Amino acid sequence: MPNLPLMRVERLCKRYGDKTVLHDVSFTLGQGEVKGVIGPSGAGKSTLARCLNGLEAIDGGEIWLDDIRFGDRHTKLDALRARIGFVFQDFNLFTHLTVARNVTIGLTKVKKMARAEAEAIVRRELARVGLEDKLDAYPAELSGGQQQRASIARALAMEPELMIFDEPTSALDPESVGGVLRVMRELVREGMTMVVVSHEMAFIEAVADDVLFMVDGGIHEEGPAEQIFQHPQGERTREFIQGLSHAEPDNVRDAR
């Protein structure tokens, strides 16, 4: 169960030009908590995920990791990012480097670790995601699912306190999705603190302690998965989020 807050987000706002894409987003993330972020396309889920890792500057509000505030002039963004693993929808692996080098690069460049020590960690992390035989392969030689698992290993090698997943299975063939979700499920079992943006409703329902249901850049509803999905509007909410239906559930329409 969640206990101490690891991250606090207070009245976060984000704009692109004159378009507000996040407004007044507030929540806390407990140590060991898994937070699911769901909502229809364009709701601002990926933008939120990117703000939580300092990949996007924010225009209002505050984000805190423990007692460190993002954007504070004394805060070193690299040091903050080293504590937060980020998994992108499209993997973001360096295509000219082997899988092993992709995983060691953060350790040697950011953590200044000796090559031999980094290589031991790489073997451990690649085994953890089932890629122990792909050390010397290049990303183009791997399936999408294997590339995503390599990118999860790269993030885990840094021993993050928090992992953020931004639609990690959206770019994958259906047959690759299961392997990535299995790795994520194992992380949940180990007690990793996680923010998971996903359209995989069944997965979110199974693993999330708490769900943020975003609509139009704001949190429309927050609560345990059973509260979000299993009210009388549950099925329509699910279809709306998955883009299967453009008809808004009554509770979304009523909020406008």
Ligand X SMILES: Nc1ncnc2c1ncn2[C@@H]1O[C@H](COP(=O)(O)OP(=O)(O)OP(=O)(O)O)[C@@H](O)[C@H]1O
What distance in Å separates the CA atoms of residue 61 and residue 229, rounded to the nearest whole number? 29
E-strand ranges in the chain read 5-16, 19-30, 34-38, 60-65, 68-69, 84-87, 162-166, 193-197, 210-215, 218-223
Of positions 23, 35, 45, 220, contacts ligand X by CB under 6 A: 45
Of positions 42, 71, 191, 232, contacts ligand X by CB under 6 A: 42
244 binds ligand X (CB under 6 A): no
Number of amino acids touching ligand X (CB under 6 A):
10
CB of 144 to ligand X, least distance (A): 17
Given the rule CB under 6 A, which of 43-51, 60-68, 121-129, 146-154 is the region that contacts ligand X? Answer: 43-51
Token pair 């606090």 is found at 8
What distance in Å separates the CA atoms of residue 127 and residue 142, rounded to the nearest whole number? 15
Kindly tell me which of 16 and 110 has the beta carbon lying closer to ligand X.
Answer: 16
Q: Which amino acid does the sequence have at 184?
A: M
Of positions 4, 16, 72, 226, contacts ligand X by CB under 6 A: 16
Which letter does DSSP use for residue 139 in this model?
G
237 binds ligand X (CB under 6 A): no
On whether the CB atoms of residues 208 and 35 are closer than 8 A, the answer is: yes
Footprint of ligand X on 46-75 (CB under 6 A): 46-47
Of positions 36, 44, 85, 144, contacts ligand X by CB under 6 A: 44
- Sites of contact with ligand X (CB under 6 A): 16, 21, 39, 41-47
